[in-house]
Amino acid sequence: MRKTIIMSILIIIVAISLISARVEDVEAEKAAIRDVVAEGYIEPIFRSGDIEAIKKGFHSEFNMLILRENNLVKYTLEEWIKSIKKREYPTGDVVLLDYLIIDITGNAAVVKVKIDISKRIYSDYLSLYKFKDGWKIVSKIYFQHN
C-alpha cells in the first residue's frame, strides 16, 4: 500500500512539472510572437517605415486580404512595401491598444490586435507560422471600427 501511495505521489509530481513546463513554453512562444508583431509590424509599418524590419517579421509570401465592395483585394508583401515607402513618417498617433488573442497550435498561430491610428480603431487579424528562424507573419485581414 505504501509503495502505491509513493508511486501515485511521484506520478502527480511528474505530471505537474510537465504541465508547468508546457505552460512556460506556451508563454515563451506568446512572448516571441508579441515581439514579432511589435518589431516587425507595429513599429515599422505604422511608425518608422523600416523596410528591413518588415522583411524580418513577415514571410516573403505574405498576403493581405481586404474586403472592398464585397470583393477580396489581395496585396503581396512587395506591393504593400511599395505603398509604405511612399508614406512620410511618422504616420500620426498610432497606439497598440491590446493583444486581444494569441492562439497557438503547434507551429501555427493567430493574433488579434486592436490598434488606434489617429483615432481610427482597427482590429487586425494576423496569421503566423513558426519557421526554422522563428515566427513570421504570413497573412493579414482587418476590420475598421469607425
What does the domain layout of the chain look like in residue ranges? 2-144
pLDDT of 14 reads: 57
CA angle 108, 110, 113 (to 5 degrees): 155
Top-confidence residue, 34 or 88: 34
Average pLDDT over residues 85-90: 71
Three-state SS for 132?
coil
pLDDT band at 116 (very low <50, low <70, confident <90, very high): confident
To the nearest whole percent, how much of the chain has pLDDT over 90?
59
Quote the pLDDT of residue 12.
64
Which residue did the predictor score with more confidence, 23 or 133? 133
Residues 6+ apart with CB under 8 A from 99: 34, 37, 111, 112, 113
Q: How confident is the model at residue 47 (pLDDT cuts 50, 70, 90)?
A: confident
Dist. CA 113–CA 77, nearest whole Å: 19
* Cβ contact 89:48 at 8 Å: yes
Task: Taking the CA atoms of 53, 58, 63 and 69 in sequence, report the sign of the dihedral they define.
Answer: negative
CATH 3.90.550.10 is held by the domain 2-144 = no
For residue 91, the model assigns a pLDDT of: 57
pLDDT at 19: 53
Looking at the predicted structure, is the pLDDT value of residue 8 above 70? no
Indicate the Cα dihedral angle 92, 97, 98, 99, nearest 10°: -20
Least confident span in 36-45, 57-66, 90-99:
90-99
